[in-house]
């Protein structure tokens, strides 16, 4: 076809030969050679891939026969005497490849560059623009991206004139494919990507101050999200950016196993970032620690109720209800703080202060008993000394 996209097969009646094309009618203008079949290639290394098809540049003499570069998919025929011509070939290179996982964006990352390179670098000036720009469009199959991929326009050959696409993608099939359609070449490019570790806590939020424990699962998965069993014993190192500590500090995947778990106990109130690393694979998750407002309010309410209940005890002084409420709340607050410390350092049951019911009961008992103790101490202090 010519640069207008018009088929010229009938006019020139090309004859395919091994490594060459013979034309029945001479052609003085540039024309494109493309295979009828769309080839599929897999990008597995960050080396420049020469794509099938190409553009024959105009020469001073009519072109009646051209040398074909390898890779066009031309079936061998009996050889004819060759006469070389200059070709422009579309190239593609991806880096890094296999694509790497970016835990911050939750997607894979690679950069895909397209260029046009002549068969003989010395015959083309990279500053000389092409007669018509080469348009490249990329469609997605088996993957999704955050943004729509714009078309690329290559206006001159050479490395300095290459155009690039930054791909932040998430595969949905085992073979994510880029359908590349351009003036010079139509080809499907399969992208390779590394497996990753998926760190999955039971929840993204947990109660802080050491009042909660959470199971965190770490799973080795393929790029498209399917479980990927280990082929050999795999050690997974765990780190926590924050005041919490994983138990145990290292996981092990046995062969044919894809998931392992560990316990994480909260500490403090700052966010926790949990990272898992196994060789070149990694993954992370962030957990927010929250203040125990519910149990705290339940404790204060229980303390007020316990202090108020003191007035119904036989022989209790009357007319001190506001003071008893205040003392009950104060004693309950002290008891709650002691309970939080006891969970962390004395291995007290977490339910005592981590649940609303347990905190309310703790506050009510401590408020009732605490007000009683304070009244006795006050009575002893007020008694005359002999």
d(CA 213, CA 201): 11
Q: For residues 259 and 266, give the distance between their C-alpha atoms in angstroms, rounded to a whole number.
A: 22
Distance of CA 243 to the CA centre of its chain: 25
User: Per residue in 120-155, pLDDT tens?
Assistant: 665 666 667 788 899 999 999 999 998 899 999 999
Least Cα distance to 276 among 240, 247, 245 occurs for 240
Rounded CA-CA distance 149/32 in Å is 25
pLDDT at 64: 47
The pLDDT of residue 318: 65
Domains observed in the chain? 9-191 (no CATH), 196-290 (2.60.40.10), 293-382 (no CATH)
pLDDT band at residue 23, thresholds of 50, 70 and 90? low
Q: Please state, in angstroms and rounded to a whole number, the distance separating the CA atoms of residues 190 and 188.
A: 7
Average confidence score pLDDT of the chain: 83
Residues 6+ apart with CB under 8 A from 116: 55, 88, 89, 90, 91, 130, 134, 154, 156, 157, 158, 161, 184
| pLDDT more than 90, % of the chain | 45
Segment 356-364 mean pLDDT: 88
Position 41 pLDDT exceeds 90: yes
Q: What is the pTM of this model?
A: 0.73
Q: Which of these, 199, 204, 180, 174, lies nearest to 90 by C-alpha position?
A: 180
Backbone angles phi, psi at 384, to 5 degrees: -70, 145
Percent of the chain with pLDDT over 70: 77
pLDDT tens readout for residues 278-315: 988 999 999 999 999 999 999 999 989 888 887 776 66
Q: Is the pLDDT of residue 346 over 50?
A: yes
Helices 356-382 and 321-345 cross at an angle (nearest 10°) of 120
Q: What does DSSP assign to residue 143?
A: E
Q: How many CB atoms are located within 10 Å of the residue 51 CB?
A: 21
Between residues 350 and 203, which one has the greater pLDDT? 203
Residue 356: band (very low, low, confident or very high) from pLDDT cuts 50, 70, 90: confident
Residue 19 has pLDDT above 60, yes or no: no
Angstrom distance (rounded) from CA 352 to CA 191: 54
| pLDDT tier, 376 (very low <50, low <70, confident <90, very high otherwise) | confident
Per-residue pLDDT for 261 more than 80?
yes
Residue 58 has pLDDT above 70, yes or no: no
Residue reference for tokens 């295979």 = 35
Average pLDDT over residues 178-205: 94
Cβ proximity of 384 and 320 under 8 Å: no
More confident residue, 77 or 90: 90
The confidence band for 324, taking pLDDT boundaries of 50, 70 and 90, is confident
Q: Which structure tokens are listed for 151?
A: 């078309």
């Amino acid at each position: 076809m010519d640069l207008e996209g018009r088929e010229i097969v009938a006019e020139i009646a090309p004859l395919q030969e091994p490594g060459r094309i013979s034309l029945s009618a001479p052609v003085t203008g540039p024309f494109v050679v493309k295979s009828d079949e769309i080839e599929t290639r897999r990008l597995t290394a960050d080396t420049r891939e020469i794509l099938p098809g190409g553009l024959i540049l105009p020469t001073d003499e009519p072109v009646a026969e051209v040398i074909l570069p390898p890779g066009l998919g031309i079936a061998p025929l009996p050889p004819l005497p060759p006469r070389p011509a200059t070709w422009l070939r579309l190239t593609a290179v991806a880096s890094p490849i296999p694509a790497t996982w970016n835990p911050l964006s939750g997607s894979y990352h690679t950069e895909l560059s397209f260029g046009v390179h002549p068969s003989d670098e010395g015959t083309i000036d990279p500053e000389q623009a092409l007669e018509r720009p080469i348009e490249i469009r990329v469609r997605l199959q088996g993957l999704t991206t955050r943004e729509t991929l714009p078309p690329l326009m290559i206006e001159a050959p050479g490395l300095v004139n290459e155009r690039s696409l930054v791909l932040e993608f998430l595969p949905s099939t085992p073979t994510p494919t880029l359908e590349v359609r351009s003036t010079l070449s139509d080809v499907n490019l399969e992208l390779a990507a590394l497996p990753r570790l998926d760190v999955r806590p039971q929840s993204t939020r947990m109660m802080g101050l050491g009042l909660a424990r959470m199971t965190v699962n770490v799973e080795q998965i393929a790029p498209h999200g399917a479980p990927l069993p280990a082929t050999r014993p795999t050690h997974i190192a765990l780190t926590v950016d924050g005041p919490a500590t994983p138990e145990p500090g290292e996981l092990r995947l046995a062969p044919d196993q894809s998931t392992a778990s560990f316990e994480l106990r909260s500490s403090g109130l700052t966010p926790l970032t949990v990272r898992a690393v196994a060789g070149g694979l990694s993954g992370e998750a962030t957990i927010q620690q929250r203040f125990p407002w519910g149990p705290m309010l339940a404790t204060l309410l229980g303390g007020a109720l316990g202090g108020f209940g003191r007035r119904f005890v036989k022989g209790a002084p009357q007319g001190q209800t506001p003071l008893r409420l205040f003392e009950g709340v104060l004693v309950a607050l002290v008891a709650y703080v002691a309970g939080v410390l006891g969970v962390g350092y004395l291995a007290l049951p977490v339910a005592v202060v981590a649940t609303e019911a347990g905190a309310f009961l703790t506050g009510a008992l401590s408020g009732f008993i605490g007000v009683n103790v304070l009244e006795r101490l006050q009575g002893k202090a007020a008694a005359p000394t002999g």
